[in-house]
């Protein structure tokens, strides 16, 4: 499934059990197992100054989309690109350690192995002056521009309101699907 881990499905199942995530989670949430990208390239720094990584065709599409938005006076900031299964696990563990219930955690983040970020095709997008990863992003010129034009570059919003995956509305999360 994943070029880095031939035992990937078994590894992911074991992680679900370890984290207390019901084994039927992917079926109930209509989520496919997402392979980890093997080859990534930088699209520049994210809002925290870390390198934001995508697979090459998604990176090229992002650069083109960002440039087109800039020509319209819209600033798009990469917030998060590729995320490994290990990093996804750390995030989930951190939320659980803070006392969040697993059901609540899984409304805003996919279980390890099921995040589009693993593929290197997903990017969380922000814009200056707006709190990152907050629903208020939907009120921005950046969101309005993405809603009109992202499809021209192969990007689609994965988690609209009332999505079948049980995630909160994520107007900042866009996935390249060519």
In a domain, 44, yes or no: yes
Read off the pLDDT band of 1 (50, 70, 90).
very low
What is the pLDDT, as a whole number, of residue 178?
Answer: 76
Average pLDDT estimate for 71-86: 98
In a domain, 87, yes or no: yes
In a domain, 17, yes or no: yes
Contact between residue 37 and residue 61 where contact means Cβ atoms under 8 Å apart? no
The DSSP output letter for 162 is T
In a domain, 96, yes or no: yes
Task: Output the DSSP codes for 77-136.
Answer: EEEE----HHHHHHHHHHHHHTT--HHHHHHHSPPTT--GGGGT-EEEEE-TTS-TTSGG
Residue 24: CATH number of its domain? 3.30.1380.10
Judged against a pLDDT cut of 80, whether residue 71 lies above it is answered with yes
Residue 33's domain comprises 8-176
Q: Give the integer Cα–Cα distance in Å for 54 and 176.
A: 10
Residue 126 pairs in a beta bridge with 77
Total domains present in the chain = 1
CA neighbours closer than 13 Å in the CB half-sphere of residue 119:
16
For 95-149, write each residue's pLDDT tens digit. 999 999 999 999 999 999 999 999 999 999 999 999 999 999 999 999 999 999 9
Instruction: Kindly tell me the number of DSSP H helices and DSSP E strands found in the chain.
Output: 6, 6
In a domain, 88, yes or no: yes
For 125-137, write each residue's pLDDT tens digit. 999 999 999 999 9
Judged against a pLDDT cut of 70, whether residue 80 lies above it is answered with yes
Q: Give the integer Cα–Cα distance in Å for 74 and 114.
A: 31
In a domain, 2, yes or no: no
Average pLDDT estimate for 52-67: 98
Contact between residue 122 and residue 81 where contact means Cβ atoms under 8 Å apart? yes
In a domain, 115, yes or no: yes
Nearest CA to 3 out of 29, 27, 36 is that of: 36
In a domain, 69, yes or no: yes
Q: Give the integer Cα–Cα distance in Å for 35 and 2.
A: 5
Q: Give the integer Cα–Cα distance in Å for 122 and 53.
A: 10
């Amino acid at each position: 499934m994943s070029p880095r881990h031939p035992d990937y499905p078994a590894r992911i199942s074991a992680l679900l059990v370890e984290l207390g995530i019901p084994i039927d989670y992917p079926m109930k949430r209509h989520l496919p197992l997402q392979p980890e990208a093997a080859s990534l390239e930088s699209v520049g720094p994210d809002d925290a100054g870390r390198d934001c990584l995508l697979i090459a065709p998604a990176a090229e599409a992002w650069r083109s989309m960002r440039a087109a938005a800039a020509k319209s006076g819209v600033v798009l900031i990469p917030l998060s690109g590729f995320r490994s299964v290990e990093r996804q696990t750390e995030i989930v563990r951190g939320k659980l350690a803070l006392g969040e219930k697993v059901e609540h955690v899984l409304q805003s983040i996919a279980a390890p192995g099921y995040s589009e970020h693993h593929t290197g095709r997903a990017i969380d997008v922000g814009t200056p002056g707006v709190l990152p990863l907050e629903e208020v992003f939907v009120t921005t010129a950046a969101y309005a521009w993405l809603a009109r034009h992202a499809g021209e570059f192969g990007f689609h919003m994965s988690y609209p309101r009332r999505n079948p995956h049980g995630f909160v509305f994520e107007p900042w999360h866009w996935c390249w699907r060519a």
